[in-house]
């Protein structure tokens, strides 16, 4: 009898549900775009907690139905969510608030929270939790609810904080818990001691048992309760497995959990994480730090340089360059990819001296150490002036290539920074995420670094990481060797080799782009 796993991925825009067989093959995959409730100024963004769970169950039923399997053969369920995810729940584990992506609800209380934390602990919030700015973190959101009680009385129902993926599993019947990794993203967790910082109880006057018990991703935290067994047709033996944040799920999915690993996850945003043995929190607030702990596999940290908005830039570009009314978004993406491929082939076959006049550079959002960029240059394309005495040969394809270059070069510089901070001279580099559907982009990363780049053969790398957790729970993965053999047997990883002839061509482009970036951003 084939055993199946069902996983949930709550991302920045979509909630996904997927079912996979024992070979890691996804046999059913559906998504919805949950309703976002946003304030007029855009600072407050939350998922509609009144219908989120009901819509999740509808999504689950649709996914099970299209899989055409007996749901009683679903043996494991796990989940991931964005960082830092946040559910404030009542005593019955019902959501009172679910934070959406880019939530800034605590913006007016962040500085106050930081000052109080420093006064009580003698330590900055950043040097305790490894994250900044505090207006993005969960403590500031809770402070908002405490202070805005006259306008929003939900604080009267809030009894506990749970990361979103842990809340999903708890609602299905699991023990109230968090995984260590999501705890480390919240702002409440002391990364050095790996505990909830005890002073938060005094700073925010927290209810008893406000913080859930931390466990390792891959631990079994319960079985699906009878209500959902009956409604979804699941077995009484369907086990719930502690999940993890989506970025670390992607790293696990591409086997980038070793101490020499540096990985860029190209999605809506692009975090670049280097795995470290010791906790590294630089004195200057430029990077994030957090945990990379997986049952049976690793007990490490990461240091991260973030690139900011990434994937949405390609959607913008496809609509800009290929906005014909009779094309779908998918068709526009295909045209964008074709134009990029054509320009890459042009560069490959052309001498560097003949390329100079056609080059275009752009600054459209992806940035080096994006968290530190207080301002941003306006959307810019930079190219040789057509008003000169010489004929300037450029094309739409050159502008398309400039859009991809902005992504590649910002990410490449962040890879270099993460490698330097983690003291890695020759790291194993992985490039994963939805944007890697474009093979030319991954190839050009390899060309720039002139080394083999690892990528996933499945674009849903976070889902693959969650399937690893299910295999850990099933006893199939007991150590790193088991993981390596699994990935090799299932053909889950691809290696991309560099083209030596492209080394100088891309290096020259990169240096010119970096100068442009420094001129406008710094």
DSSP per residue, 62-99: HHHHHHTS-GGGEEEEEEEE-TT--EEE-TTS-EEEEE
Peptide bond into 401 cis (omega under 30): no
* Inter-axis angle of helices 439-449 and 503-521, nearest 10: 90
Task: Say if 4-242 and 255-308+419-501 have the same CATH topology.
Answer: yes
User: What residues have CB less than 8 Å from 370, skipping those under 6 apart?
Assistant: 269, 306, 307, 308, 309, 410
For the cut 80, the answer to whether the pLDDT of residue 378 exceeds it is no
Q: Give the total residue count for the chain.
A: 522
User: What residues have CB less than 8 Å from 444, skipping those under 6 apart?
Assistant: 344, 404, 408, 502, 506
Q: How do residues 97-126 score in pLDDT, each as one tens digit?
A: 999 988 999 999 999 999 999 999 999 999
Homologous superfamily (CATH) of 4-242 is: ATPase, nucleotide binding domain (3.30.420.40)
pLDDT band of residue 133 (cuts 50, 70, 90) is very high
Residue with tokens 């975090």: 271
Residue 155: per-residue pLDDT = 97
Reference 257, options 219, 224, 227, 217; nearest CA is: 217
Reference 366, options 349, 352, 380, 354; nearest CA is: 380
Find the mean pLDDT for residues 50-59.
98
pLDDT-wise least confident of 314-323, 383-392, 464-473: 383-392
Are the CB atoms for 93 and 170 separated by under 8 Å? yes
Residue 268: per-residue pLDDT = 86
Residue 120: per-residue pLDDT = 95
Q: How do residues 189-207 score in pLDDT, each as one tens digit?
A: 999 999 999 999 999 999 9
The percent of residues in the chain predicted with pLDDT above 70, rounded, is: 97
Locate the domains of the chain by residue range.
Answer: 4-242, 255-308+419-501, 311-410+504-521
Residue 411 exposed, middle or buried by CB count within 10 Å (0-12, 13-18, 19+): buried
Who has greater pLDDT, 29 or 323? 29
> What is the phi/psi pair of residue 83, to 5°?
-110, 140
For the cut 80, the answer to whether the pLDDT of residue 503 exceeds it is yes
- Rounded Cα distance between 165 and 154, Å, is 21
In CATH, what class is 255-308+419-501?
A: alpha beta
For the cut 80, the answer to whether the pLDDT of residue 88 exceeds it is yes
Peptide bond into 133 cis (omega under 30): yes
Who has greater pLDDT, 312 or 337? 337
Q: How do residues 379-427 score in pLDDT, each as one tens digit?
A: 899 987 776 656 667 889 999 999 999 999 999 999 999 999 999 889 9
Are the CB atoms for 507 and 479 separated by under 8 Å? no
Are the CB atoms for 413 and 407 separated by under 8 Å? no
For the cut 70, the answer to whether the pLDDT of residue 375 exceeds it is no
Per-residue b or e along 258-280, where b marks 16 or more CB atoms closer than 10 Å to that residue's CB = ebebbbbbbbbbbbbbbbbeebb
Are the CB atoms for 211 and 166 separated by under 8 Å? no
216 to 258, 411, 472: CA distances (angstroms)? 17, 30, 11
User: What residues have CB less than 8 Å from 415, skipping those under 6 apart?
Assistant: 262, 264, 272, 305, 427, 429, 449
Residue 390: per-residue pLDDT = 61
Reference 393, options 321, 343, 433; nearest CA is: 343
Element spanning 329, H or E:
helix 329-349
Rounded to 5°, the CA angle 359-360-361 comes to: 125
467 Cα distance to chain centroid: 17
Q: What is the DSSP letter of 399?
A: H
pLDDT-wise least confident of 134-143, 347-356, 401-410: 347-356
For the cut 60, the answer to whether the pLDDT of residue 185 exceeds it is yes
Are the CB atoms for 369 and 286 separated by under 8 Å? yes
Who has greater pLDDT, 385 or 94? 94
Find the mean pLDDT for residues 355-360.
84
Q: What is the DSSP letter of 150?
A: T
Residue 469: per-residue pLDDT = 98
* Average confidence score pLDDT of the chain: 94
- Rounded Cα distance between 31 and 59, Å, is 7
> What is the phi/psi pair of residue 179, to 5°?
-90, 155
Residue 377: per-residue pLDDT = 60
Residue 343: per-residue pLDDT = 96
For the cut 70, the answer to whether the pLDDT of residue 45 exceeds it is yes
Find the mean pLDDT for residues 342-370.
91
Residue 46: per-residue pLDDT = 97
Find the mean pLDDT for residues 229-241.
98
Residue 281: per-residue pLDDT = 96
Residue 372: per-residue pLDDT = 84
Q: Tokens for 203, please give them.
A: 């700073």
Q: Which residues pair with 15 in a beta bridge?
A: 10, 32
């Amino acid at each position: 009898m084939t055993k199946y796993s069902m996983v949930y991925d709550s991302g920045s825009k979509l909630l996904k549900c997927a079912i996979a067989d024992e070979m890691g093959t996804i046999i059913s995959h559906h998504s919805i775009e949950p309703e976002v409730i946003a304030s007029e100024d855009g600072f407050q963004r939350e998922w509609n907690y009144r219908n989120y769970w009901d819509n999740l169950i509808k999504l689950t039923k649709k996914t099970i139905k299209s899989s055409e399997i007996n749901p009683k053969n679903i043996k494991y369920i796990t989940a991931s969510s964005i960082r830092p995810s946040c559910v404030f729940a009542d005593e019955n584990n019902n959501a009172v608030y679910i934070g959406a992506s880019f939530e800034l609800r605590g913006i007016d209380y962040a500085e106050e929270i930081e000052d109080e934390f420093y006064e009580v602990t003698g330590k900055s919030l950043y040097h305790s939790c490894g994250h900044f700015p505090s207006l993005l973190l969960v403590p500031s959101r809770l402070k908002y609810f405490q202070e805005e009680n006259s306008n929003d009385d939900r604080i009267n129902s809030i009894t506990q904080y749970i990361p979103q993926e842990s809340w999903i599993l708890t609602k299905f019947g699991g023990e109230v818990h968090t995984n260590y990794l999501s705890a480390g993203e919240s702002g409440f967790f002391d990364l050095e001691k790996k505990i909830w910082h005890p002073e938060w109880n005094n700073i925010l006057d927290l209810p008893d048992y406000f913080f859930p018990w931390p466990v390792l991703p891959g631990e079994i935290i319960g079985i699906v309760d009878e209500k959902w067994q009956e409604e979804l047709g699941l077995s009484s033996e369907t086990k719930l497995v502690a999940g993890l944040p989506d970025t670390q799920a992607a790293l696990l999915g591409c086997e980038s959990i070793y101490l020499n690993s540096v990985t860029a996850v190209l999605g809506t945003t692009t975090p670049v994480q280097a795995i470290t043995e010791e906790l590294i929190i630089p004195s200057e607030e430029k990077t994030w730090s957090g945990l990379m702990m997986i049952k049976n596999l690793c007990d490490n940290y990461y240091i991260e340089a973030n690139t900011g908005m990434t994937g949405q830039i390609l959607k913008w570009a496809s609509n800009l360059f290929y906005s014909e009314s009779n094309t779908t978004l998918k068709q526009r993406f295909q045209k964008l990819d074709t134009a990029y491929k054509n320009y890459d082939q042009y560069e490959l076959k052309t001498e560097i001296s003949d390329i100079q006049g056609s080059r275009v550079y752009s600054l459209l959002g992806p940035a080096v150490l994006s968290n530190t960029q207080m301002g941003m240059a306006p959307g810019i394309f930079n190219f040789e002036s057509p008003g000169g005495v010489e004929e300037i040969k450029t094309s739409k394809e050159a502008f398309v290539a400039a859009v991809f270059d902005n992504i590649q070069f910002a990410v490449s510089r962040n890879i270099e920074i993460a490698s330097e901070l983690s003291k890695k001279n020759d790291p194993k580099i992985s490039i994963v995420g939805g944007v890697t559907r474009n093979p030319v982009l991954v190839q050009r990363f390899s060309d720039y670094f002139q080394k083999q780049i690892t990528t996933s053969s499945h674009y849903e790398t976070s889902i693959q990481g969650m399937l690893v957790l299910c295999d850990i729970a099933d006893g199939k993965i007991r150590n790193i060797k088991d993981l390596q053999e699994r990935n090799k047997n299932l053909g889950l990883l691809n290696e991309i080799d560099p083209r030596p002839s492209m080394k100088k061509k891309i290096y020259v482009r990169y240096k010119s782009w970096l100068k442009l970036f420094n001129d406008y951003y710094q």
